[in-house]
Amino acid sequence: MIKRAVGRLVKAVSFCCVTAMLICLCSYMLAPKDNTPEGGIINPSANGFFSEPKNSVEIAVIGNSDAYSGFSPMELWKTFGYTSYVSAEGHQSLAQSYAQLKKMTECHDIKLVILETDEFFVKSGLTEGAMRLANAYAGSVFSVFWYHDRWKNVKLHELLKKPNYTAHCATKGQLLSNEINGYTGGEYMVKTDKREKIPLSTLVPLEMIVSHCRENGIKLVLVEIPSQTSWNYERHNAVNDFAEKNGLPFLDLNIDRESFGFDWKTDTRDNGNHLNSLGARKCTRYIGDYLMKNYKLTDYRRDPAYEQWNRDYEEYKKAVKI
Amino acid sequence: MGYASYKYLLIFLGSVLLFYTVMPRKFKWTVLLAASYGFYWISSGKLAVFLIAATAAVYLGGILLDKIGQTAALGKKGLEKEEKKRLKSLISYQKKAVVALTLCFIFGMLLVIKYSGFFANLFNRAAAFSGVDISLPVFNFVMPLGISYYTLQAAGYLIDVYRGKYRASYNFGKVALFLSFFPQIVQGPIGRFDRLADPLYEGHRFSYENVTAGLQLICWGLFKKMVIADRLNIFVADVFGNYTERSGSLILAAGVLYTLQIYAEFSACMDIVTGSAQLFSVPLDKNFERPFFSKSVSEFWRRWHITLGAWLKDYVFYPLSFSPAFMGLGRFTKKHFGEYAGSMVPATLALFFTWALIGFWHGAGLRFIVYGMYYYAFMVAGMWLEPLIARAFSVSRIKRDCLPLNIIRMFRTAAIVVGGMMLFRAGSVTEWTEMIRRVFTDFGSSEFMQAVVGCGMDIHDFYIVGIGAAAMLAVSILQEKGINIRESVARQYLPVRWAAYAGLILAIVVFGAYGTGYDAVDFIYAQF
Amino acid sequence: MERIIKVLNEINPTVNWEKETDLIGNRILDSLRIVQLVGALNDEFDIEITPMDVVPENFRTAEDIARLVSRLEDE
């Protein structure tokens, strides 16, 4: 009786293992082989860091649409000479953030992480979060759940090929926009003692990001880019509590906006939700200033190995019409 | 929480099975009851009061019937024949009153919640038409999950008790579990108390055979739902949504593919829920028996949504046909219009109400009634023409039951069903007639091949749907020949067996229409 | 029994009613025929067959039907 039960258990477990292995194999075969849009990668601009020269990026900017609209790596490069990449995705969950950070630390020598805090308050699905975390842990073994549809375009000879990343993202992950649709409403940062609760589904991966940084000697800075529609003082308080508890710096750019010349009339592209390139430049200079004063980061502007960054800046300059 | 979601399959089902397994046998049913109400709460929240109200109503009604019966049996002793008769008629009156009141209550809830908007609209339109200046407020209630299904189950239970098929249950938990059991609450199968309540209530030990068989069935259901039905949904939604710009050939294709979609999906859901129940060694009634091998419309409805048809047959069609009024009408017709007509009248009339109900059950709207009448027309035509057809065959000496003819019959039945499904999917009767018109007047077959891949599904999607449908067909043919697929796979050598199971899982993972670029599709039949 | 067969032949004269062993399973008696049959039996024997009596066990063979009729006649 017991013998039969054990036998069945062994059989069931080994079947699950075999199936899981086959799923991993499918993940490998169907994973995008390049980080260009044609390669089929989801959010190519957030994944452009794969094809930057190894260990060339030192600052990782992680977040959702607020981050890729409101932070400008090129501005940071021009003004301070720091190398950064924005790996942000629309509606990114913190589990995703963790996965992106892991990937980024694998191919770059990340010294500092700027984590945009807007996404702290976006609840995410339990199973999806769990799968994303599993992916982050075990190196995208379950990426087939996101990339399964690539069976349509994958070529037979590509199936077993290793990925070869070739994309070049000159803005380093930033979404450029010269559109101006100002916000004219009232003040949204009304001081209060109330705090919004950070949901559990984001708190778990958040703790994982914090400890990942700690273990790898990476500095972590929490930043909130100005956003009228998604930010308020209750959220500010909640993040502030979290930052204090973990001994992290928290820069809320919604407060004292005037001190760095931020203007809601000119600096947003969609009436106060996301910033445009002008707003991004102002925020980036402010953040860069803070980084220069508080951390020892290297200025690579004179380093010939980073000549490409200067060329990228020229392109950026044309695009944002400076 | 949809049956095809991770949440249901991995978290919910997994933890319920775990609790069920570790619970002592006597209390296993409480796990199922708690899980069922938990499931209900997640999707409908406070609307669970309607379910509880219906449960309480038939529970109390059943007990009342039982008590009346008992007092009658006691009081009968030592009575004269005359008095016995009087008592009997009094008892029968009381019982009828209990049943009628309870049924009014539970169907009243269904009527108000599901149909009051429709009737109010109808009334307002009629009032406006006749120039009367009254208008009723139109409430659009949020429907409690599965109300159309559990109401039928509850009514069936009470009527059976009334008929004396079995005694009423004095165990409220048992009745509550029977009506709320989570696999079948959303879209059936509509269960019967005498078959379902005991397996639910008595605890079953963990059965490896049942769990593996249940999981296999769930996987097969997921394959049909995710690979075939959800993929087809893209095309079907596109064509039905823009039918005025689509050629007749595309509309026809969409009708056929919608029929395939709804079959794949509805039967998939039945596989998933039957497999779910099998994990707990609870057998659910069969709802499908390869309906597209049917040779007539009436056979189709015996093999499609079986439990709904059986319910209506037992509780609507037969009672109506056998009622004194209908039988009397039959006698009257026999006298005046001949033997044949007389024997046909009760069934024809009863069938009318049955079909009107089937249509109306599917939804509050004119097109659903027309949907019922559509099938009714075909069925009655077949019934009344039967002697003529029989004579034609015997005169022409063509063998009636032969393979070529049967295949033609299958296609004919399928064509009628496709027509019906198009009505089912269309927004209104006018839309449906317009679609049918386009099929016959603006077929546009020349550009069909280019146009068909321009409606959301590319050529790869069609390949996969084709392969999936072929797999479904192959399985159906084998089953039609009496082969039990799961048993015959289980008899194979381990590598073959495992390859089959793992292959099915991988097919779902890789070829399923889910994730980026697809919207999650709700089960169609859950909306009733 | 003879009267039963007579009634059955009125429903469908081409069936060999006494030989058939599964009238329901072979679909000789579908729901329409059942309704016709019940009407005819009610008239012929002056009984009242109710929906409860319509279960396969009562209609599988001509003998089953005869048993049902004689039971209802006694009531």
**Residue B396 in domain:** yes
What is the residue-averaged pLDDT of chain B? 87
- CA B367, distance to chain mean position in Å, is 18
Least confident span in B328-332, B420-424, B472-476: B328-332
Q: Which residue, B156, B180, B206, sits at the end of a domain? A: B206
Percent of chain B with pLDDT over 70: 98
Cross-chain residue pair B343–C36, CB shorter than 8 Å: yes
Residue B528 — pLDDT band, cuts 50, 70, 90? Answer: low
Q: What's the pLDDT tens digit per position in B206-235?
A: 888 899 999 999 999 999 999 999 899 888
Mean pLDDT of the A166-170 span: 88
Q: What's the pLDDT tens digit per position in B358-413?
A: 998 888 888 889 999 999 999 989 888 888 888 888 888 888 788 888 899 999 99
Residues in chain C with pLDDT < 50?
none
Contact B139/B117 with Cβ under 8 angstroms?
Answer: yes
User: Is the CB of residue A155 less than 8 Å away from at least one CB of chain B?
Assistant: no
Q: How far is A145 from chain B (nearest CA, A)?
A: 7
Touch between chain C and chain A (3+ CB pairs, < 8 Å)? no
My answer on whether B259 and B310 are in the same domain is no
End-to-end CA separation in angstroms for chain B? 16
CB atoms within 10 A of CB C56: 12
Cross-chain residue pair B322–C11, CB shorter than 8 Å: no
Mean pLDDT of the A281-292 span: 94
User: Of A195, A262, A197, nearest to A228 (Cα)?
Assistant: A262
Residue B492 has pLDDT above 70, yes or no: yes
Give the model's pLDDT for residue A172.
92
Mean pLDDT of the A257-270 span: 89
Residue B524 has pLDDT above 80, yes or no: no
Residue A40 — pLDDT band, cuts 50, 70, 90? Answer: confident
Q: Which residues of B touch A151 (CB under 8 A)?
A: 460, 510-511
**Residue B63 in domain:** yes
My answer on whether B340 and B241 are in the same domain is no
My answer on whether B147 and B107 are in the same domain is yes
User: Is the CB of residue A91 less than 8 Å away from at least one CB of chain B?
Assistant: no
Among B10, B208, B516, select the one facing A149 at the smallest CB separation: B516
Mean pLDDT of the A295-312 span: 92
Residue of B nearest to A41 (CA): B516
My answer on whether B259 and B301 are in the same domain is no
Give the model's pLDDT for residue B366.
84
Question: Domains of chain A, with CATH numbers?
Answer: 44-125+165-320 (3.40.50.1110)
Give the model's pLDDT for residue C36.
84
Surface of A (116-135) touching B: CB under 8 A? 125-127
**Residue B327 in domain:** yes
Residue of C nearest to B391 (CA): C14
Contact A33/A147 with Cβ under 8 angstroms?
Answer: no
Q: Which residue, B206, B238, B257, sits at the end of a domain? A: B206
Give the model's pLDDT for residue B326.
86
Ramachandran angles phi, psi of A85, nearest 5°: -140, 135
Q: How far is B353 from chain C (nearest CA, A)?
A: 14
Cross-chain residue pair A23–B509, CB shorter than 8 Å: yes
Residue B523 has pLDDT above 70, yes or no: no
Q: How far is B223 from chain A (nearest CA, A)?
A: 15
Cross-chain residue pair C43–B331, CB shorter than 8 Å: yes
**Residue B476 in domain:** yes
Residue B454 — pLDDT band, cuts 50, 70, 90? Answer: confident
Residue A42 has pLDDT above 70, yes or no: yes
User: Is the CB of residue B350 less than 8 Å away from at least one CB of chain C?
Assistant: yes
Cross-chain residue pair B510–A26, CB shorter than 8 Å: yes
Among B163, B322, B347, select the one facing C32 at the smallest CB separation: B347
Domain span at residue B407 reads 294-425
**Residue B289 in domain:** no
My answer on whether B86 and B120 are in the same domain is yes
User: Is the CB of residue B346 less than 8 Å away from at least one CB of chain C?
Assistant: yes
User: Is the CB of residue B347 less than 8 Å away from at least one CB of chain C?
Assistant: yes
Structure tokens, B43: 């999707």
Q: What's the pLDDT tens digit per position in B393-407?
A: 888 888 878 888 889
Q: How far is B501 from chain C (nearest CA, A)?
A: 35
The CA distances from residue A154 to B10, B226, B510, in Å, are: 30, 21, 12
Residue A4 has pLDDT above 90, yes or no: no
Residue B347 has pLDDT above 90, yes or no: no
Choose from B9-13, B54-58, B74-78, C57-61 the range with maximum mean pLDDT: B54-58
Q: Could you tell me which residue, B82 or A85, shows the higher pLDDT?
A: A85
Give the model's pLDDT for residue C52.
82
Residue B340 — pLDDT band, cuts 50, 70, 90? Answer: confident
Q: Could you tell me which residue, B274 or A271, shows the higher pLDDT?
A: B274
Q: What is the ipTM, given to two decimal places? A: 0.86
Q: Which residues of B touch C40 (CB under 8 A)?
A: 343
Among B315, B327, B350, select the one facing C42 at the smallest CB separation: B327
Give the model's pLDDT for residue B378.
92
**C-alpha to C-alpha distance for B311 and B8, rounded to whole angstroms:** 28
My answer on whether B197 and B271 are in the same domain is no
Structure tokens, B324: 């004194």
Residue B246 has pLDDT above 90, yes or no: no
Chain B interface test: which of C11, C15, C35, C46 (most B C-beta within 10 Å) = C35
Residue of C nearest to B328 (CA): C39
Structure tokens, C74: 């006694």
User: Is the CB of residue B463 less than 8 Å away from at least one CB of chain A?
Assistant: no
Cross-chain residue pair C39–B163, CB shorter than 8 Å: no
Residue of C nearest to B324 (CA): C48
Cross-chain residue pair A151–B510, CB shorter than 8 Å: yes
How many structural domains does chain B have? 3
My answer on whether B106 and B186 are in the same domain is yes
Cross-chain residue pair B322–C49, CB shorter than 8 Å: yes
My answer on whether B26 and B69 are in the same domain is yes
CB contacts < 8 Å between A and B, how many? Answer: 46
Residue with tokens 């260990």: A55
**C-alpha to C-alpha distance for A118 and C52, rounded to whole angstroms:** 66
Surface of C (15-54) touching B: CB under 8 A? 30-32, 34-36, 38-40, 42-43, 49-52, 54
**C-alpha to C-alpha distance for B195 and B181, rounded to whole angstroms:** 14
Residue B90 — pLDDT band, cuts 50, 70, 90? Answer: confident
Give the model's pLDDT for residue A226.
92
**Residue B491 in domain:** yes
**Residue B1 in domain:** no
Mean pLDDT of the A134-151 span: 78
Q: Which residue, B157, B188, B206, sits at the end of a domain? A: B206
Surface of A (24-83) touching B: CB under 8 A? 26, 30, 42
Among B315, B317, B339, select the one facing C31 at the smallest CB separation: B317
The CA distances from residue A250 to A63, A246, A279, B292, in Å, are: 14, 11, 19, 65
Q: Which residues of B touch C43 (CB under 8 A)?
A: 331
Contact B218/B273 with Cβ under 8 angstroms?
Answer: no
| HEC string for chain A | CHHHHHHHHHHHHHHHHHHHHHHHHHHHHHCCCCCCHHHCCCCHHHHHHHHCCCCCCCEEEEECHHHHHHCCHHHHHHHHCCCEEEEECCCCCHHHHHHHHHHHHHHCCCCEEEEEHHHHHCCCCHHHHHHHHHHHHHCCCCCHHHHHHHHHCCCHHHCCCCCCCCCCCCCCCCCCCCCCCCCCCCCCCCCCCCCCCCCHHHHHHHHHHHHHHHHCCCEEEEEECCCCCCCCHHHHHHHHHHHHHHCCCEEECCCCHHHHCCCCCCCECCCCCCECHHHHHHHHHHHHHHHHHHCCCCCCCCCHHHHHHHHHHHHHHHHHCC
Percent of chain A with pLDDT over 70: 99
Cross-chain residue pair A146–B10, CB shorter than 8 Å: no
Residue B520 — pLDDT band, cuts 50, 70, 90? Answer: low
User: Is the CB of residue A13 less than 8 Å away from at least one CB of chain B?
Assistant: no
Cross-chain residue pair B501–A15, CB shorter than 8 Å: yes
Q: What's the pLDDT tens digit per position in B176-196?
A: 999 999 999 998 899 999 999
Q: What's the pLDDT tens digit per position in B25-64?
A: 889 999 999 999 999 998 888 889 999 999 999 999 999 9
Q: Which CATH number among 1.10.8, 2.40.10, 1.10.1200, 2.60.120 corresponds to the domain C2-14+22-74?
A: 1.10.1200
Q: Which residues of A touch B498 (CB under 8 A)?
A: 15, 18
My answer on whether B23 and B140 are in the same domain is yes
